[in-house]
Structure 1
Amino acid sequence: MNGPRPPHYPELYHPLIPEFIRVFELEAGKFSDPIVGRLVPQAIDGEPYEAVSYVWGDTRKRHDITIDGATLSITENLHGALTAFRHRAPSGSSSSDSSGTGTEPAQRQVRRLWADAVCINQDDLAERTSQVELMARIFAGARRVLAWLGWEEGEADHRHLLAAIRFIHVFMEDPEAGLRDARILLHHHDLGDPTAHLALFSEDDRRRFEEQSRKWEAVKVFFEIEYFHRTWIVQELGLAREAIMCAALKPADEAEARDQVFELDLVDWRLVGQFVTFLDYSAASLVTHLGLLAWVAHHILMVWETREDGTPNCDFLTAMHWTRILGVTDARDRVYSLLGHPLAVIDGDPIIKPDYTLTRGVIYTKLAAHFIRRTKNLYVVNLVDHEDDPLLQARNWDPQDEGRMPSWVPDWHSINRTTPLEYPVPAAEAEDTEIQIDGDTEGVEGSPLPHLLLRGWVVDEISAVSRRMETTDFPVTNLTRERAKKNPFWLDRLWDLAFPAEGSADRDALAVLETLSLALPLGTRGEDEPVSTAGAHQSLEEHRRSFAAYVLEYHELWRGASEASGINNDDDNCYLPARSLYDSLPAEAQAELRRRAEGVTGEGFIECMTWSSMCRVVYRTTSGLVGMGSRVTQPGDLVCRVRGSPVLMTLRRIDDSGIGRVTATQAGTNATLISCAFIGPTVVPARVKKDVLDGGDFDEKAAQFRIV
């Protein structure tokens, strides 16, 4: 929505009355003709119009257009969209004539469009704010949303946008068959010379490999274009009655443009949505292996998912979490760009109103505090995903520090790399009426940042932490790829942490292994339990079988490598662990894994745990518990059970000097006061039991937490 301020705006804007917008009536023209049109004020629910969804692009590359006889400078990307859309109206996958309207002729004299950089006076802060409040209605009320992906240029064999659009149409005719064809890339791809290994293929396999490589390279480029990584498109696509994605081959010169039939390549957003959803839930290993960013587009869909009764399946806070990976010019728009979400209200009141005078830290804190106070739960806190270690000190508000906020507030503008941590069995009561926010959330300069006062129990202290898990570590492929991973033989190394060779003789290896296996995919789902939004899910029996197969597949890869070269510490073989997970187990546990794995593969487990484990760590506590948590987790952090949070928390002790004391009434007579910073949500399957919501049942230590 918002780009850097243009160098000059002419005096062509007149004040808008409430509930009014401007529509740009764009005159028809050929490719090289100037862009000419006029602005027409109208009620937001007045005459029909189409809304343009696009990326501002490089604001230094600009073109002039003429509006009502005056000159307006717009970005090159919007100029391209207007050039393409005035030529011919797109038709989507729904039945329509060549104009895409069903009634109007293909060549219209005027096309009525709404585009933010043209229809909003960007120099008027008051108008920008008021129009942002109408943005959801603007896109929901448009007869169609036209999503401009950009011009395609270059040689015929490098026109990736057009190739991807055509491939998606064909693939979705039979996605299961398309996925079977694509798996040749997963099993045969090499990281070295891309042609060296083709000599080992049959002629037919070589042809299939090269064909699939070309197709999926186009898909990879398609989802890497800037359009799919822009925050405002979430609302623009999600609220559209119909959204058509458009790209076009750019004529090489004006002479060619005059002689050539100008055509748009189109794909319905709904079909793209079906494509990325299928990949996320059925082909996570392929997505991560090829480095596809299709999952980013899937996040957009997840924001607007509904249940069978039509009610929203995704709440506003989770929508914020799914979209924080997207780019935005103004960090405050991460909130404002989603105000069209049906759950952006609580009890009929808007959760927040646009205010561009406050810092993002204040806005995010006010939003988090609002939800905590109104819901009496800590769900918003468990969406924190620190990019770096939080500061371990109490601080004051500073309007010069855009990102200053408490450790318990999600910084929606930081890079998100994790899915929400949902576990099917709650660890504590979902609500607590005694949750307190102590301090100022208005951002008054020099006043202390607010602290969160919570009640709960300390589960244990963390003693050892793994390296961060990467999605590319998970698939079992071949030694060449294994050696190139950041964490080669990652499962065997996790097991060394969870069940070290020294000091684990008195522990049940199979029980510890099952705890680890349940932590990675965030548990399993029964028929009567909620489905996770983190990806695919299995029943407990399916999970045990596919995980056993996964362990054996990794063992076979390890055994082949160790038999070929031996285990030693030289540079060539240091990527090999000293033992495999399977070899470390007692004979009866090995036999049980072989029994479970019979007739299945590890593919199901990989699909279930890929997104939930992405960019998290595994840890062991002082008493030997195994859990999975935030990437910034460190030894010494506390695993805690907290009232009002269905998932466990990781907290880090801080020096509480200078922090106001909690009263005895707040703390409780038998509770220890702990001042701490919030690190992130966590899961320890061994300490989560159905219908057990009180840490006292596990003999855990009661505590009062003051979180800075």
Structure 2
Amino acid sequence: MDDPDSPPYLKCYHSLAPECCRVFELEPGNFSDPIVGRLVPQAIAGQPYEAVSYVWGDPRKRRDVTINGTTLSITANLYAALTAFRHEPQSGNSGSLNTSTGSAQRPVRRLWADALCINQADLAERTTQVELMGHIFASARRVLAWLGWEEGKEGRRQAQAAIRFIRFFMKDPEAGLRDARILLIHQDVTLTGPPDRLAFLSERDRRRFKEQARKWEAVKLFFKTEYFHRTWIVQELGLAREAIMYTALKPADRAGVGKGLGGEDGAAGSKPQALELDCINWSLVGRFARFLDFSAASLVTHLGLLSWVAHHVWMVWEMKEDGTPDCDFLTGMHWARILGVTDARDRVYALLGHPLARIDGYLVIKPDYTATRGVIYTRLAANFIRKTKNLCVVNLVDHEDDPCVEVREWDPHNDSIMPSWVPDWHSINRTTPLNYPIIAAKVADAEIRIIGDTEGAKGTSLPHLLVRGWVVDEISAVSPCMETTDFPVTNLTREQAKKNPFWLDRVWEMIFVADGLAGRDALAILETLSLALPLGTWEKGQPVNKVAGSQQTLTEHRRSFAAYVLEYHDLWRGVSEIGWVDAEIQSYLPARSLYNSLPAAAQTELRQRAEGATSEGFLESMTWSSMCRIVYRTASGLIGMGSRVTRPGDFVCRVQGSPVLMTMRFIKDSGASQGAKVKTESRDKSASISCLYIGPTVVPARLKRNVVIGRDFNERAARFRIV
């Protein structure tokens, strides 16, 4: 459903009955034969068919096919998929499928492909069929996922190497990960030593390093395939009874015969060429990506793997032991934000087949291609808030840029306009949901209100969200946005190349300022920081956060974090004790390390904790949760982690109906001196505040089990009008 400019196919289509679709009966043929077939209407649950999952690709690159005697134009990518799938492949060796059987012996193949089986020029039909897409893919005998042609012989070698390696790795993932850790030995250029750290390895280890590098490079290229970065595959793979991924080298590329994609014949009189498909089951690929995210985050970030994108797809459909979905619809929407789509509204519609896309038996939203994305997203958020009386959808907001104060009215010509409390699922997202193990407030509140128009009529005001809660504190200092490449402790050369060199020491300089905060317990503040970064820890009897963080007990966490602090200290000391530091190094080298800033007793405690421990556990649990977020300090010295657009002057708030704390930005509607007004408000009287929603946040010092009322922390009561 990614091609809004498709040509009209009126001659091939007739009206469909409810709960029906069309199936494309594809005639057999050799590689270079034209694509010929017919469209047959049927009940979705009728005769067996297979569904094709693919990338639309460049709409300007098109091929002609013959359907019901009419010539139609489709994208080159779909043409390639039909060329590969025009007959039933038979299993061959090493995961390849050989399709050399003569075309006369092959049966017609019954396929469903959106660009062929839906009349793209009929908006009413397109809307109805989009609503049925989940049913169509769930009812298919299996899903055939077309990854595209392999790019020449080298492309095929890499694709086959990746498929073989994933299969082998998943036989014993822990052993595979141990072998891969040799790649974390970095190229090390020191001020006094040799430039190549590999020179210090034994001949056997050098061979291992190079072998692992080759294998993981193939895996890296595999996950760069465009197919993995398309929104519609989330539903297409997730609902499949069985999904198999296929790729192939065009016979012309392999044998040097023929001129290209189907319809262009090879040399005159040449023998029809066999097409060998390389394949792998999606379930194996998904479990591979999941394992890497949970157990090898540092390896993923070090190698620049995009396997985590596939893991996002996998997470949307994971099930609990009782067979119910582990991921709710809104979180699934959040994970899919990183994927590409032509029509921003399809970010919602592409997941309507999810089991939790219905509330009280009704879809959370109906497909509508006449409204802007801002209106569609606002309707969706408002529907969830009204039905559930909670703010879970609000806590999935991840602003890429500062929300705009000036825009207050709907504009049908600007599809990006929406309230600050509505997630823009079409903007770039690289954050994990902020799921702290201790809730900040009651998770539902009957007094939550939405005031205003959600239909998007021109000139009408954007709807406001009315909630109640408490103001925790004002933010006074903010760190730079954190990137995954900032986190591993390696060597001076790699530290210098980071966006935020010596990031932990720099963050500590901002948190533990020398003036004005004397007498604070440095170790307690450090522990607050360490609990904010991985979103807490896991303890017996608590639900484990299956997305990021919370993968260690508190004892394990303390030990691995202490080791992490000491690793950074050792790197800093190794540079600073050389005796001279040039101007470039001086520009990013902290005056002192975090460790050196601590009192002697705290240093002793950290060394005791770190004895026999490594930083690996802390790094693996905090990498994804901290990515693209900032650390901040409040006016009273509280430490938190929040949205990348947070800035000094914003306020941390506790809100009824939100399980996590919120960051707000007060606006002029609430008075010229809102900050002072809130601070002087009496404890028993609620302030009325207009604000923008900045994003979810966590302040471990203000999260206490079984405490969900702000007055227990002497916080100021307030009513918020979020615009």
Q: Same fold (TM over 0.5)?
A: yes
Match of 2:278, SS state, is strand
| Alpha-carbon distance, 1:525 to partner | 1.4
Render the CA deviation track for 1:655-682: whole Å, top value 9, x for unaligned: 10799xxxxxxx9971111111000000
Letter of the 1:133 partner, please give it. E
Comparing 358-367 with 626-635, greater Cα deviation is found at 358-367
Comparing 673-682 with 214-223, greater Cα deviation is found at 214-223
Letter of the 2:442 partner, please give it. E
Aligned residue among 388, 400, 403 for 2:413: 400
Aligned sequence identity (%): 71
Which residue of the partner structure matches residue 241 of structure 1?
241
Matched, 1:446 2:444: no
Whether the 8 Å contact between 2:187 and 2:196 is mirrored in structure 1 is no
Aligned residue among 135, 148, 151 for 1:150: 148
Whether the 8 Å contact between 1:23 and 1:40 is mirrored in structure 2 is yes
Whether the 8 Å contact between 1:31 and 1:87 is mirrored in structure 2 is no
Matched, 1:81 2:81: yes
Tell me how far apart the structure 2 counterparts of residues 353 and 119 of structure 1 sit (CA, whole Å).
21
Tell me how far apart the structure 1 counterparts of residues 380 and 189 of structure 2 sit (CA, whole Å).
45
Whether the 8 Å contact between 2:87 and 2:109 is mirrored in structure 1 is no
Whether the 8 Å contact between 1:88 and 1:106 is mirrored in structure 2 is no
Comparing 441-450 with 8-17, greater Cα deviation is found at 8-17
Whether the 8 Å contact between 1:231 and 1:327 is mirrored in structure 2 is yes
- 1:186-201 counterparts in 2 under 5 A? 186-189=184-187, 198-201=198-201
Counterparts in 2 of 1:266 and 1:96: CA distance versus 1, 3 Å: closer
Letter of the 2:149 partner, please give it. W
Which residue of the partner structure matches residue 696 of structure 2?
681
Tell me how far apart the structure 2 counterparts of residues 171 and 125 of structure 1 sit (CA, whole Å).
46
Whether the 8 Å contact between 2:487 and 2:619 is mirrored in structure 1 is yes
Matched, 1:494 2:507: yes
Matched, 1:409 2:410: no
Match of 2:694, SS state, is strand
Counterparts in 2 of 1:675 and 1:77: CA distance versus 1, 3 Å: same
Which residue of the partner structure matches residue 225 of structure 1?
225
Which residue of the partner structure matches residue 708 of structure 2?
693
Match of 2:685, SS state, is coil
Size of the alignment, in residue pairs? 693
Match of 1:517, SS state, is helix
Counterparts in 2 of 1:351 and 1:173: CA distance versus 1, 3 Å: same
Comparing 164-173 with 638-647, greater Cα deviation is found at 164-173
Which residue of the partner structure matches residue 295 of structure 1?
308
Comparing 594-603 with 389-398, greater Cα deviation is found at 389-398
Letter of the 2:162 partner, please give it. A
Match of 1:674, SS state, is strand
- 1:376-387 counterparts in 2 under 5 A? 376-387=389-400
Which residue of the partner structure matches residue 545 of structure 1?
559
Match of 2:693, SS state, is strand
Letter of the 2:139 partner, please give it. G
Match of 1:33, SS state, is coil
Letter of the 1:474 partner, please give it. F
Match of 1:676, SS state, is strand
Match of 2:180, SS state, is helix
Matched, 1:475 2:480: no
Which residue of the partner structure matches residue 442 of structure 2?
429
Comparing 204-213 with 356-365, greater Cα deviation is found at 204-213
Tell me how far apart the structure 2 counterparts of residues 539 and 638 of structure 1 sit (CA, whole Å).
31
Structure 2: gaps spanning 5 or more residues: 259-265, 673-681
Tell me how far apart the structure 2 counterparts of residues 315 and 93 of structure 1 sit (CA, whole Å).
40
| Alpha-carbon distance, 1:504 to partner | 3.2
Match of 2:12, SS state, is coil
- 1:505-654 counterparts in 2 under 5 A? 505-536=518-549, 537-564=551-578, 566=580, 570-654=583-667
| Alpha-carbon distance, 1:573 to partner | 3.1
Tell me how far apart the structure 1 counterparts of residues 104 and 64 of structure 2 sit (CA, whole Å).
26
Match of 2:41, SS state, is strand
| Alpha-carbon distance, 1:533 to partner | 3.1
Which residue of the partner structure matches residue 72 of structure 1?
72
Counterparts in 2 of 1:565 and 1:670: CA distance versus 1, 3 Å: same
Match of 2:152, SS state, is coil
Whether the 8 Å contact between 2:684 and 2:717 is mirrored in structure 1 is no
Counterparts in 2 of 1:622 and 1:160: CA distance versus 1, 3 Å: same
Render the CA deviation track for 1:448-492: whole Å, top value 9, x for unaligned: 111111111110000000000000111112222111110111111
Render the CA deviation track for 1:629-685: whole Å, top value 9, x for unaligned: 0000000000011111111000001010799xxxxxxx9971111111000000000
- 1:58-457 counterparts in 2 under 5 A? 58-89=58-89, 91=91, 108-156=106-154, 159-189=157-187, 198-251=198-251, 252=253, 253-254=257-258, 255=266, 258=271, 260-393=273-406, 395-457=408-470
Counterparts in 2 of 1:210 and 1:94: CA distance versus 1, 3 Å: closer
Letter of the 1:548 partner, please give it. A
Render the CA deviation track for 1:219-242: whole Å, top value 9, x for unaligned: 111111111111110000000000
Letter of the 2:145 partner, please give it. A
Whether the 8 Å contact between 2:345 and 2:369 is mirrored in structure 1 is yes
Counterparts in 2 of 1:191 and 1:248: CA distance versus 1, 3 Å: farther
Tell me how far apart the structure 1 counterparts of residues 514 and 670 of structure 2 sit (CA, whole Å).
41
RMSD of equivalent CA atoms? 2.4
| Alpha-carbon distance, 1:9 to partner | 3.1
Whether the 8 Å contact between 1:92 and 1:266 is mirrored in structure 2 is no
Match of 2:588, SS state, is coil
| Alpha-carbon distance, 1:310 to partner | 0.7
| Alpha-carbon distance, 1:400 to partner | 0.9
Tell me how far apart the structure 2 counterparts of residues 518 and 212 of structure 1 sit (CA, whole Å).
34
Match of 2:210, SS state, is helix
Tell me how far apart the structure 1 counterparts of residues 111 and 129 of structure 2 sit (CA, whole Å).
16
Tell me how far apart the structure 1 counterparts of residues 683 and 456 of structure 2 sit (CA, whole Å).
30
Letter of the 1:564 partner, please give it. I
Tell me how far apart the structure 1 counterparts of residues 590 and 617 of structure 2 sit (CA, whole Å).
25
Which residue of the partner structure matches residue 704 of structure 1?
719
Letter of the 2:216 partner, please give it. W
TM-score, scaled to structure 1: 0.94
Letter of the 1:550 partner, please give it. Y
Which residue of the partner structure matches residue 26 of structure 1?
26
Letter of the 1:493 partner, please give it. R
Whether the 8 Å contact between 2:158 and 2:221 is mirrored in structure 1 is yes
Counterparts in 2 of 1:137 and 1:454: CA distance versus 1, 3 Å: same
Letter of the 1:426 partner, please give it. I
Counterparts in 2 of 1:596 and 1:422: CA distance versus 1, 3 Å: same
Which residue of the partner structure matches residue 676 of structure 2?
none
| Alpha-carbon distance, 1:502 to partner | 2.9
Counterparts in 2 of 1:658 and 1:617: CA distance versus 1, 3 Å: closer
| Alpha-carbon distance, 1:574 to partner | 1.9
| Alpha-carbon distance, 1:97 to partner | 11
Match of 1:458, SS state, is strand
Tell me how far apart the structure 1 counterparts of residues 509 and 154 of structure 2 sit (CA, whole Å).
51
Which residue of the partner structure matches residue 664 of structure 1?
none
Tell me how far apart the structure 2 counterparts of residues 71 and 504 of structure 1 sit (CA, whole Å).
76
| Alpha-carbon distance, 1:93 to partner | 12
Aligned residue among 666, 672, 696 for 2:687: 672
Whether the 8 Å contact between 1:362 and 1:443 is mirrored in structure 2 is yes
Structure 1: gaps spanning 5 or more residues: 100-104, 660-666
Tell me how far apart the structure 2 counterparts of residues 147 and 577 of structure 1 sit (CA, whole Å).
51
Match of 1:480, SS state, is helix
| Alpha-carbon distance, 1:567 to partner | 5.4
Counterparts in 2 of 1:657 and 1:499: CA distance versus 1, 3 Å: closer
